[in-house]
Chain A
Amino acid sequence: MTIFHEIRQLAQSTDNDYLTRARQQGHPTVGIFCSYVPEEMIHAAGAVPYRMRAVASEGTSLGDTYFSSANCSFVRRVLDKGLRGDFDFLDGIVFMNGCDHNRRLFDNWSYAGPDTGFNYMLFVPHGRSEACLAQYGHELAKLGRFLEGRFGTELTADRLRRSVALYNRKRALLQEIADSRRAAVLPISGTEFLSLMLAVTAVPVEDAIALLEQVLAELRAGRVHTEKAVLRLFVTGSCLEELSHMELVESAGAVVVADAICLGARYFERPVAVGGDPMTALAERYLRNLSCPRMMDDTAGRIDHVRERVSSFGADAVILEKLEFCSMMSGESYIASHELRKVDIPSITLTRELYGGGVGQLRTRIQAFYEKVINRS
C-alpha cells in the first residue's frame, strides 16, 4: 500500500489502528471540535487529541431527533454518529462555541449521552483584542485544571514545551507540503491534501509526523499530480471535510492549490512561540492565528490573507464554501465576494449540505463558474 493509499484510508474511517495502539499504551483519545482547542494541552496531559468528523456518516435520522431542520448538517451528522456508537472509542470531548450549532452540540451530546467519556465546553471569545486574549487565557487555565484532574497529571511547563515542539514539527511539515503547491507543476491535489489533513488529525502526533515525513519524501522525489492545472483555486469557508465534494470542485482540470479552512491552513500556519511561558504562547498562537469567520475583529485580515495567497499561489479564483444554515459564513461570503470583486478576483459561494445531495446542481454551477473564469483570461 502506498503512503497516499494509507492516508486515504485513514481519512475515510472514524477510528484507526494508530489510535488503538495508543490506547493500548495508556493514551486515551480526546475528541476536539475546532482549531481553537490547543492540542498541546491534551497531549501534555497524556491523551491523544482527535479532530471530530462526520466521515462514514450514515445519515442524520438520529441526530434529527435532537436538532431541527434549521440546524447545520455537520452537527446533525456528528451527533448521529455519536448516537450510533461510532465514537465510543473516545474518552472525552472538548467542545467549543464555534457557532450556535456547535454550542448546542455540546448540550445535545451531554443530554443524549453517547458513551464517549467526559464532555467539556471551552468558551472562546470572538475577538483577538487584549481583553479577549486575557479571557481566552483564563478559559485555557480552566481547561488545564480540568485535564489535570481528569487524567491525574500535571501540565508542567516542561511537558507543555515538549508537546509544543512536537506539534510545531507537525505544523512545519504540513506547511512545507502546502507550500509545494505554489509550483506550476502540482505534486499533490486539493483532495489529497484534505485527506492528509483528515488523517493527521486522527492519529497521535508522533505517528502524524512519521506519515508526513513519508509524504514529503515522495514529493521531494518528484511526485507529479497535475502537470498544468486548467484552473488554480483557493478555497475558504466553514466546515469542509468531504473528499467527494473536493473532487467535485477539482473536476474539469481545476485544482485547489491553497486554502484557509480549519482542516487546512488554519490548522498549521504559524508555530507556537518557544522560550517563554508555554500557556501564554499557546493562548497567543491559537487566538491570533489565521482566523476563522467566527472571529469578529479580523474580517479585513482574512480577506487580505486570501488576496495575498491568491497572488502568491497563482490562483485564478476563490471558492467560498458554506454549509446550509451557517450564518457565520453568510456574512463572511457576502463581504469576501464584494471585496474580491474590487480587486478583480472571481469568486463563487457554494452552499451545500454536508455529504448531501444536490450534486448535479452544484456541478452545473461550478462548471459555469469555471467557464466564466477561463473565458475572461
Chain B
Amino acid sequence: MELKPYEIIESVIAGARLGTKVLDSPHLAWLGVKAAAPLLFHREHRLNRAGRFGFQKIGSSRWSPGELAAYKHDCIATLAFFQRVLDARDGREPLVWLGWPLPIEVASGFDDVAAFVPEAFMAIANMVGTDGHVACLEAVEREGISDDICAMDRISLGAYLLEQIPTPAAIVSVAHPCDASRTTSQLMEYISGAPAYTIDTAYTKEDADVALYSKNLFEAIAFLEDTLGRKYNWDKFRRMVAVLNEQNRYLNEITHMNQSIPSAGLSLGLQTAWGSKITGAGNPELVKSAKAMYNVGRFRLRYPQLRRKVEKFRIIVADMPIVFSEMSMWIEKTFGGVVVGDYIGDAIFPEIDCTSLETMMMGVARDRLYMGMVKQAHGAARETVDDLERQIEQFSADCVIQNGHQGCKHNRALQRIVKDVCRRHDIPILIMEADIFDKRVMSEAEIKRELTNFFVANGFAS
C-alpha cells in the first residue's frame, strides 16, 4: 500500500469530523450502524476495507445509542489532537513528541505547543484500511530495523519514515517500562535528530520511586521551556489535573460496574478511554465521554435481565487486546462470552491530591503507573501477577486469554506464572502466539479459529 504524506492523519481527521456530526444524533447513527452491519461485520473485503476498522472500534453494531453518544466526545478530542499536529506541520506551532507511557500534560500544558504521541499510530494507521499498519511496518523492515522490537513502536517509526508525522522540535522519551519503548525512543531520537530528554518511569509504585519520576517530569517541563523558548502554563496544568480527577472517578465506577454479574459490558469503551487518555488527558471532552458511558452502565445494572441474555461466560484478557481487529464484540455476538477485563480495560486510578503543584505532579505520575500496559510492564512481575489474580477474583472470570503479544517480552516471560495462577483458580487459559498490532503474525481468521477451538474444548460453546 502506498501512502501519501500525512494520509493517515488526514483520514483520522475526516473520520473524526464525520463521527462528530453523525453522532450528534446517536439514535439515528445507531440505526445506520445496525443497517450497515451485514456489510461491515463479518469479514474484511475490498469494499469495506477502509471502513471496517472504524466500525469495529465503535462496537461492531453492538454498541447502544448511549455508547455511541459517549464516543462522540472521544471523536472531538481526537479531532483536536490531530488537527494540532497538522497545524504544527504547517509551522503554526512547535511539535513535541512524548513517549506513550508519559503524561501528555507535560507538553499539553504549554498554550502554544502541539503535543503528540507517535505510538498513537498503532491505533490510527488502519483508518486507511488494515494494510495501513503493514505499510508502516514494511517501511521499518526496508530500513533494516529488526522485527524483534514491539510492532506498536515499529508502526510509529514507520509512520515517521513514511512522512505521516512531522519532525518534532523536541522529544520527551522513556527508558522504561519496556525495552521496546526504550529502543524506539533511542531510534526516534536518532532518526529525527531532535533534542531529547529521557525519563525512566518508576520501577515500583513506592513513594520514593514515584517522587523521583515526578521530579523528572518537572525537569522535562524545564527542558521543554529551554528548548522551545516558551513558558509552561501552570494554571492550565491545574485545570487539566482537575479534569483528570473527574474523568478517573467515572472510569473507576465503570470498572466496578464491569465487575458486577452480569457485567455492564463496557470494556471496549474503557479501551477507547485508555487511548483517549494517552493522547488527551485533561481534555474536558473525556469527562463527558466517561460520564455518558457511566450512565449506560447504570442503566444496564438497573435492568440486569437485559445483560443476562448476552452474558453466558466471562473472560479476562491477560494482555493488551488485539488492535488490528476487534475480538471482544465478535466473541460476545458469536459465543455469548463477555470480556469483563483486560490490561487496559481495568481502569482503577487513585485520586490526585490537588494541594500543591508537587502533589499534583506526584499524582499525575502515579496515575500513569496505573494505566494499562504501564501497570503490567513496569518493575517486577508481581505488578502483573497480583493484578491478574485480583482481576480473576473481582471480575469472577470463567477463563483467561493471553494473546501472546510478540512485542511484550516481559509478558511473554511470565507465561508459566500466569498459567499457574489460572490453575490455582481452576479456570482454563488460552495462550496464543499473536501479535496484537501486526496481522501478518496471526491473521484475524486464525485468531478466531483458535478462540473457537478453545471455547468448544472447554465447554463454553458447542
Contact = CB atoms under 8 A, between A and B. Distances in A.
A131 B175 contact: no
B164 interface: no
Nearest to B144: A334
Interface in B218-259: 219
Contacts of B184: 331
A101 B182 CA distance: 14
Contacts, number: 129
Given A126-B182, A126-B198, A138-B208, A131 B146 contact: no
Contact of B416 (A66, A97, A327): A66
A127 B175 contact: yes
B198 to A, nearest CB: 5
A103 interface: yes
Contact of A100 (B178, B203, B212, B216): B178
Interface in A76-113: 97, 99-101, 103-108, 111-112
A327 B413 contact: no
B190 A335 contact: yes
Contact residues on B (Cβ < 8 Å of other chain), bracket: 35 or more
A205 interface: no
Given A138-B208, A296-B175, A330 B413 contact: no
Interface string A55-68: 00000000001111
Nearest to A142: B208
Interface residues of A, number: 47
B198 A327 contact: no
A123 interface: yes
B427 to A, nearest CB: 19
A121 interface: yes
A6 to B, nearest CB: 37
Contact of A101 (B180, B212, B409): B409
Interface in A129-155: 131-132, 134-135, 138
Between A65, A75, A138, A331, the greatest number of chain B beta carbons within 10 A of the residue's beta carbon is seen for A331
B182 A330 contact: no
B307 interface: no
Contacts of A333: 146
A102 to B, nearest CB: 10
A330 B412 contact: no
A180 B212 CA distance: 44
**Top 10 A-B residue pairs of the complex, sorted by shortest distance between their CB atoms:** A126-B175, A104-B413, A107-B381, A331-B183, A330-B146, A68-B412, A100-B410, A66-B416, A100-B409, A123-B203
Interface of B: 143-146, 148-150, 173, 175-176, 178-180, 182-187, 189-190, 198, 200, 203-204, 208, 212, 215-216, 219, 379-382, 404, 406, 409-410, 412-417
